[in-house]
Each structure stands twice: as structure tokens, then as C-alpha cells.
Amino acid sequence: MSVETQKETLGFQTEVKQLLHLMIHSLYSNKEIFLRELISNASDAVDKLRFEALSKPELLEGGAELKIRVSFDKDAKTVTLEDNGIGMSREDAITHLGTIAKSGTADFMKHLSGDQKKDSHLIGQFGVGFYSAFIVADKVDVFSRRAGAAASEGVHWSSKGEGDFEVATVDKAERGTRIVLHLKSGEDEFADGWRLRNIIKKYSDHIALPIELPKEVAAVEGEEQPAVEWETVNRASALWTRPRTEIKDEEYQEFYKHVAHDFENPLSWSHNKVEGKLEYSSLLYVPARAPFDLYQREAPKGLKLYVQRVFVMDQAESFLPLYLRFIKGVVDSNDLSLNVSREILQKDPIIDSMKSALTKRVLDMLEKLAKNEPEQYKSFWKNFGQVMKEGPAEDFANKEKIAGLLRFASTNGDEGEQVVGLAEYLARAKEGQDKIYYLTGETYAQVKNSPHLEVFRKKGIEVLLLTDRIDEWLMSYLSDFDGKSFVDVARGDLDLGNLDSEEDKKAAEEVAKSKEGLVERLKTALGDSVAEVRVSHRLTDSPAILAIGEQDLGMQMRQILEASGQKVPESKPIFEFNPAHPLIEKLDNEQSDERFGDLSHILFDQAALAAGDSLKDPAAYVRRLNKLLVELSV
């Protein structure tokens, strides 16, 4: 053992302490997954060395045979895992093993509930597999040296999984990392060759480099202990290069956990090999859960890129559009050069062709999931729906396909659940209905009870209810679906087309004509507050509503622009009244201009509140209302 220098004791990051507590208290019912996680990390370290060695071959230090070795010592009760990958410097060890070096750590803390079953789901969302070592070990030693560094610049990291860890500088002749697990009492089963071999075959057969175990050689009495012979126990070939017919679902699922650093099985996957003008293989996965950093634009995203089975890039963002950033997987190309960079990827026409094909592949996979496993798709939508809503604006070529995957709440659906697809909506539309009707708002309760829906309820017409902040922006990019145009029921002059009979239309015209005098009085009373006053065709129960002009911004878009500090163009609402409502009849018969003005403004303010808007002059509203109440009580 070499002499340790510069030894110091450091404290774990708070988030890591919480993680370790979960691990040590048997978070996982399946303890053996610790080996899967450590092998997965070792494989990543070897991949990174391969990539860096493309431009700096000296990093291989004369040892180009890359592998992972797993060994054990029954007497010492240890399991050792060693790789000859990129390795770590002292700073790397402190950073990577002492903190969760990922965006969203504050969210991790916020989501911890104290319920181990619930909290276990958080682990995969953070990719912190190294700490799973503490499921079976009460002490972990890590010896590492970064490739290219001097032998004297090795590091020894050690912890008992409590509040702190020790780090010291040591001599280490070989590059890479060696992890020694000192097994807890009762975990001796893992210091066994047969047990380790089975775990590796079960979870890590897909790893595309040799995983070696000591060969079991029977000792001969009186002879010297033979030198350790190593044998490869995994298939050691890239999973995506094998025919689909030869790969079991369990193998696909385990490969996903490796490539995504997730602990849960994926919802779905698609494995394809393309031959012809372009040659590449792809294996794409839809995760079961969204990571915490899904909405952080700087968060890592993209596919693992290989060129002719050689790892090149960890997060290649150029192969899928941003709205599909949650997709995990690998793409392996025969047409790109090994020295490809992010800059080159952005300009290469081959990438454009591959991106187009891979995008369609993902959308087809989601269509299949929606059709064949609606409950699974419901789970997908809950996690990734808002991201999918970015699609129509970003991906014009696939706008119709994306629209078919969107899900909404509706007046016919369960309480606020976004489960209604556009194809389903049209399949049960009223005879003669040639529009898709929708209403946007801040909350489900607000839109569900909106006066704008009154005529639709009366006629039994389904309306989509959109309450996500992104929805109004989304609808500005969706003009139609399957030949049917979208209509915002709160915008412009509502025309129900064939859903209104000729008798209804004629009666509405006659009523509007008879109320021309009231329209003019209201225009005078409300003045600059409104763009227009007209008789409403939308109302059956309420006295009045505010409609939005055809070209004006809705409330959601105004709030988004204001929150981002942008100047919002001024617009005025359209005041519509229900001529059959008793309040409107009373207003029409009001002789006093002052009282007429007060009542008109009260109706206007109430309509604004019903639309979810705030009052521009709440004090004036209260004053007018109190005046009216006093008059009524006299």
C-alpha cells in the first residue's frame, strides 16, 4: 500500500446525506442492483476514455485493451470492481462522489417525503447510482487516477456512508478506478463467484466491453497458488447491433437503465437498423418518469452517439428536436467520421436526414403506445404532455402527427383529466359540426363554469378545456386538424355554422335588430372600456360576457408576455349581453342615465371576473355595488 499524503476529511452535500440515508436503510428490495450501477458507471468511464483517446492517443498509456474486472475476497468480505477507463483526479473524486453534480438538486430535497417507497422513485431521476454501493457495504474505498496524470497523482476516497468522507493523494500505477466494497454483516452472499456471475449475466450482459471474473481454478495440494486467470462472463457486444429477434424484453429494459441511469423500466422502445443511402442503427426509449430538470434548457439532453460502435458523444442534441428532449437511447452511424464534433453535427446534411427519420420513429412509437396501451399513454402524457405541446411550433413538418398525440380535458371528460385526443373528439362530434371548439383559462374550475360554454351545453356540443400556461401559445400554431378548423369559443363573433338551424339564425337577427337602441346606450355608458357592444349568441343563463377580438391576445398570452418583461399591445374586450336575461330587461327599461351607467359598469366588471380577469378599478366596482345594495334595501 502506497503512502497517503494530503489527507483530509470533508462533509457530504446535504442532498447526498439524504440519499445515503435512503440507501443504507434498504431503499431497494432488490439489493443486487448495486453491481449493475457500478458496472454501468465503469462502462461510461471506459467510453469517455475511448472518446478522449481519439484526439489524445497517449491517454491509453500503451494499454488499449479496455475492460472491467470484478473480484471478491471471502475472508475479507469484500467485492472489488476495477476499470481501466478515464479515471478521476482528486478534484473529480470530491466533486463526483461528494455532491449530486446535477441541476435540480433543490427539487430533490423538496420532493423527499419520508416515505421510502415514494422516495425510491427519485433516485433514478438523479442518476446517482454510485451511492447504491452503500446498500450492501458499510464502507467503500475508491482508488483512482485520471488517464494521462502521473502515477503519484492517484486519489483514495473513503467513506462509511455517514456524514463525511476522507480523501487523500496516493500512488497508483494504472489509470482508471478501483472500488472496494466492505460488505455489511449478512451480505456475505455477494462475496461469491457464482452469485456475481449470475448478477452480471442478468443485468450487464449488454455492456459492450468485457466484464471479467477470476476463473475458478481448483488448488492442488502442495503446489503454489496459481496466477489469477480471468474470463469474460458477459456477451460483450453492443445490444443495438444484434437482431431484434434475439433480444429479450428484459435485455432491452436493462440496457435502458444503463444508458439512462434510471432505476425504472421504460414505457416503450424502438430498435431499428437503416440500410441504403444512409446506414445507422438506433435504439430509442420513452422513460416512465420525467426528470426534475426537464424544463431547464441548460440540462443535459440528447442521445448517446456512436460511430461504428465507438462511443463519440454522451449528449448529442442534434438528432432529435427539443420537444423530444426526454427521449433516451443510442444512435450508431456508419456515415460519420470519428472526429465529429457538436459544431460539425449542426451543419452536416446527413444529420438532418437522420433527425427527420428518428423524429418520425419516436412519433410512431408514441402513436403505437397511445393506440395499444392507453393507460400507459395516460401516464406518459401526465409526465411529458407540456413538452409535447412545444412540438407544433417547433416541428411544422410533423404538426398533424403531433396534434394527434395531444390530449386535453373537455366538457365531456372526467374532472380536469387531459385524456381526450382530437381524433376521439371528432369521432363523437355532433352531426354537421365542422369545427373543433376550445376554451383557454387559468384553472379547470374557471373554464368549466365559464358563461362562454352556456350555448354549447344547451346544444350538447363538446368543448376542449385548455388550462396549461402554454395552451394559448400552442393554439396559435394549430389552425386545423383532419380538415376541421379550431375555434376559440371566447374569441370573435361565435358562428356555430350548421349547428344553428335557419330558424335560430333568423330569430337571433330579429332580436339583435330589436335591441339596437340598448346597444347604443351601452356603448355610450361603457365608453373606452370596450371595443364593441353586441347581442350575444353564446349565453343562455348569464346576463353578459366579455369576448376577445379575433386578432387580440388572450389572457394567457398577455400574462406570459408581461412575466417575461415584454410590452403587451393594448386591446379592449367586446361586451356581449343576453337579451333574454331579467337583468338586461331591467337595464333596458331603466330611465335614469346615472343608474343605467352604474348597472352597465357592474355587469361589465362581473363579466371580467367570470372570465378570470382582474378589475382595473376594484374600488369603483365596490362603490357602485354598495350604492345599488343601499337603494334595494330602502
Q: What is the DSSP string of 330-372?
A: EEEESSS-TT--HHHHHH-HHHHHHHHHHHHHHHHHHHHHHHH
Q: Which amino acid is at 340?
A: V
**Residue 153 gets which letter from DSSP?**
G
Domains of the chain, residue spans = 5-237, 240-379, 394-495, 502-633
User: Over 90: is that where the pLDDT of 492 sits?
Assistant: no
Residue 200: Cβ-neighbour burial (10 angstroms; 0-12, 13-18, 19+): buried
Q: Is 447 left (phi over 0), alpha (psi -120 to 50) or beta?
A: alpha
User: Over 70: is that where the pLDDT of 1 sits?
Assistant: no
Query: Would you place residue 98 in the very low, low, confident or very high pLDDT band (cuts 50, 70, 90)?
Result: confident
Question: Can you give the pTM of this predicted structure?
Answer: 0.79
Query: Would you place residue 217 in the very low, low, confident or very high pLDDT band (cuts 50, 70, 90)?
Result: low
Of 137, 111, 167, 190, which is closest to residue 26 (Cα–Cα)?
137
CATH code assigned to 5-237: 3.30.565.10
User: Over 80: is that where the pLDDT of 6 sits?
Assistant: yes
Number of Cβ within a 10 Å radius of residue 356: 14
Angle at 427 between CA 425 and CA 431, to 5 degrees: 100
Higher pLDDT, 313 or 626: 626
Q: Which amino acid is at 280?
A: Y
| 502-633 classified as CATH 1.20.120.790 | yes
Q: Which amino acid is at 15?
A: E
Of 299, 268, 279, which is closest to residue 125 (Cα–Cα)?
299
Whose cell is 438506433? That residue is 282
Whose cell is 489524445? That residue is 56
Q: Which CATH number fits domain 394-495: 3.40.50.11260, 1.10.238.10, 3.40.50.970, 3.40.50.150?
A: 3.40.50.11260
User: Over 70: is that where the pLDDT of 433 sits?
Assistant: yes
Mean pLDDT of 575-585: 90
Q: Which pLDDT score is estimated for 16?
A: 73
Q: Which amino acid is at 400?
A: E
Query: Would you place residue 402 in the very low, low, confident or very high pLDDT band (cuts 50, 70, 90)?
Result: very high
Contacts of 512 (CB under 8 A, 6+ apart): 534, 535
**Residue 248 in contact with residue 235, Cβ under 8 Å?**
no
Q: What is the pLDDT of residues 443-489, one digit of tens each?
A: 888 889 889 999 899 889 999 999 998 898 899 899 899 999 999 99
CA distances from 160 to 11, 84, 134, 391 (A): 12, 25, 8, 47
Higher pLDDT, 326 or 494: 326
Q: Which amino acid is at 96?
A: H
**Residue 408 gets which letter from DSSP?**
B
**Residue 69 in contact with residue 212, Cβ under 8 Å?**
yes
Query: Would you place residue 101 in the very low, low, confident or very high pLDDT band (cuts 50, 70, 90)?
Result: very low
Share of the chain above pLDDT 90, in %: 43
User: Over 50: is that where the pLDDT of 95 sits?
Assistant: yes
Which of 167-176, 344-353, 367-376, 422-431 has the least mean pLDDT?
Answer: 344-353
User: Over 60: is that where the pLDDT of 112 sits?
Assistant: no
Higher pLDDT, 67 or 561: 67
Query: Average pLDDT of the chain?
Result: 86
| CA distance linking residue 337 with residue 306, whole number of Å | 10
Most confident of 285-299, 495-509, 575-589: 575-589
CATH code assigned to 240-379: 3.30.230.80
Higher pLDDT, 33 or 233: 233
| CA distance linking residue 606 with residue 591, whole number of Å | 22
Q: Which secondary-structure segment (H or E) carries 193?
A: helix 193-203
Longest Cα pair distance anywhere in the chain, in angstroms?
122
Dig out the grid coordinates for 52 from the structure: 478522449
Whose cell is 446527413? That residue is 350
What sections of 395-492 are H helices per DSSP? Answer: 399-405, 422-427, 444-448, 454-459, 471-475
Whose cell is 446517482? That residue is 128
Strand pairing category for 328-333 and 435-440: unpaired
Most confident of 283-297, 371-385, 430-444, 449-463: 371-385
Of 496, 420, 507, which is closest to residue 458 (Cα–Cα)?
496
Query: Would you place residue 126 in the very low, low, confident or very high pLDDT band (cuts 50, 70, 90)?
Result: low
